[in-house]
Amino acid sequence: MSNWSKIERMHTCSVNGCTWASERRLFTCMPHWLKVPQDLQSKVWDAYRALPQKRPDRQTLLNDPAYCQAAAAVIEHLAAAEGRAPLSEWRTAAAGHEHGAATA
Ligand SMILES: [Zn+2]
């Protein structure tokens, strides 16, 4: 039983092609997170802490403009560093928020 509750708190790393499991509150696995510059790390944490939910799920995070911006910057930094294609859903979500804000 305790194994299942642990699994629910895990997800795979958000970096494209990386299959490491990480805790849900962490955006990427630890090896990837350690490669992220501190200013980008703090942007992700600031956006995460600013959410009203204590344990926001993935959809909640995708709905948050600040989190999407920070997350997209992290993914693009890691993708460039590793020569991978960036996973686009965070940038797509961020762009969607920008579009929404412009037309609101
Ligand atoms: Zn990773």
Q: What is the pLDDT at residue 68?
A: 95
Q: What is the pLDDT at residue 37?
A: 97
Query: In angstroms, what CA-CA distances link 38 with 16, 34, 90?
Result: 21, 9, 19
Q: What is the pLDDT at residue 85?
A: 82
Amino acid (1-letter code) at residue 50: A
Q: Pull the structure tokens for residue 73.
A: 């910057």
Q: What is the pLDDT at residue 104?
A: 45
Residues with pLDDT less than 70, the chain: 1-9, 87-88, 101-104
Q: What is the pLDDT at residue 94?
A: 92
35 Cα: distance to centroid of ligand 1 (angstroms): 10
67 Cα: distance to centroid of ligand 1 (angstroms): 18
